Amino acid sequence: MITELYEEIYAKIVENDTIIIHRHVRPDPDALGSQLGLKELIQNRFPEKKVFAVGADVESLNFMGVMDEVASEQYEEALVIVTDTANRPRIDDKRYTKGQTLIKIDHHPNDDVYGDVSLVDTNASSCSEIIADFSVYLDNRLPLTAEAARLLYGGIIGDTGRFLYPATTAHTMRIVAKLMEHDFSASEMGQLMNTNSKKVANLSGYVLQNIEVNDLGVAHIILTQEVLQQFDAEDSDTAPVVSLPGTIEGIICWGIFVEQTTGTFRCRLRSKGPVINEVAKRHGGGGHPLASGANAADYSEIEEIIAEFDEAVIEWQKEK
Ligand SMILES: [Mn+2]
């Protein structure tokens, strides 16, 4: 039962004076929203505890909050909680193993089971939704604050594409309604997340102009280092363009292949129906059924991924 897990996690929070919260590398709004939202909830209820959020800062998401410096000695007696991170290799700051107790809270498929306690709900739209559920369940034992509501709302709209993706449920909306009862501007949060730098806007134009689509509705674009340099952009600037191909009529699934400085390719894979995380797993990645990441060593591996997408679309059409 999920409520038993809530109680178990809450008991660990009560027991520990030092709590360090991690999330995945290259964080998105849900990673930061779940991490910083949980920190805010705990710190508000237990002002005497030392609660930290660790990992690399991302300048474009500074409006969500910034990370804390934590000395390694502080891990000795600490409870470590990792949010929004399916696999151990993706946890930002490898000191997560150094605490007394480790808790995983996540919404991705549970392929890498880790932690002394593990709360994984793949039906949740986002990890931020799970943290909000946790607070709503605990009620006065871990009450929501306006700042926690703002952060968790940001995480939910980040992972759902502002309620566009099918992971958005009636439950998501009920939780969002509860968050919106608090004193923060949901509209301002939406606007912040919908605003990109000029270079990202220019890169978006390039993606929309140059993406290639085949007869099956499989689309792809390769962003080479040369293209990125043309827009003064880097790998992290490609996050906001990942969803764009889904706005083009006829595209069913797509990959945006971003050349790394090492010459390999980061593969950002998305789908509007066919399950693609199995494809991602075959290429050193994984993720959600309709939103995954992988790695390609070279152009021929990119071609393999596209061919596997073709197969996935054909299978999906048969089952429909
Ligand atoms: Mn997430």
pLDDT, the chain, mean: 97
| pLDDT band at residue 82 using 50, 70 and 90 as cut-offs | very high
- Give the sheet arrangement for strand 286-288, strand by strand: 212-213, 218-223, 253-259, 265-271, 291-296, 286-288
pLDDT tens, position by position, 215-242: 999 999 999 999 999 999 999 899 999 9
| Mean pLDDT in residue range 73-91 | 97
> Residues with Cβ within 5 Å of ion ligand 1?
30, 84, 126-127, 159
Average pLDDT of the segment spanning 175-203: 96
DSSP H or E segment with residue 305: helix 299-319
Ligand 1 centre to CA of 126 (Å) is: 5
Q: Which domains does the chain have, with CATH numbers?
A: 2-193 (3.90.1640.10), 199-319 (3.10.310.30)
pLDDT at residue 283, as a whole number? 98
Predicted local confidence at residue 184, as pLDDT: 98
Average pLDDT over residues 204-218: 98
pLDDT at 160: 97
Given a cut of 90, whether residue 121 has pLDDT beyond it is: yes
pLDDT at 320: 84
Centroid of ligand 1 to alpha carbon of 159 (angstroms): 6
End-to-end Cα distance, the chain: 34
Q: Average pLDDT, stretch 261-283?
A: 97
The per-residue DSSP string of 138-184 comes to: HGGGS---HHHHHHHHHHHHHHHTTTTSTT--HHHHHHHHHHHTSSS
Residue 276: per-residue pLDDT? 97
Q: Which tokens sit at 120?
A: 């994984």
pLDDT above 90: residue 1 = no
Q: Ligand 1: distance of its center to the CA of 132 in Å? A: 13
d(CA 253, CA 317): 12
Q: Which residues of 237-268 are buried (b: 16+ CB within 10 A; e: fewer)?
A: bbbbbbbbbbeeeebbbbbbbbbeeeebbbbb
16: pLDDT strictly greater than 90 = yes
Q: Which tens digits make up the pLDDT trace of 18-62?
A: 999 999 999 999 999 999 999 999 999 999 999 999 999 998 899
Tokens 């930290």 belong to residue: 52
The tokens describing 14, both together, are 């009560």
**Separation of 175 CA from ligand 1 center, angstroms?**
16
Q: Cα(251) to centroid of ligand 1, in Å?
A: 24
Coil vs helix vs strand at 120 = strand
pLDDT for res 54: 98
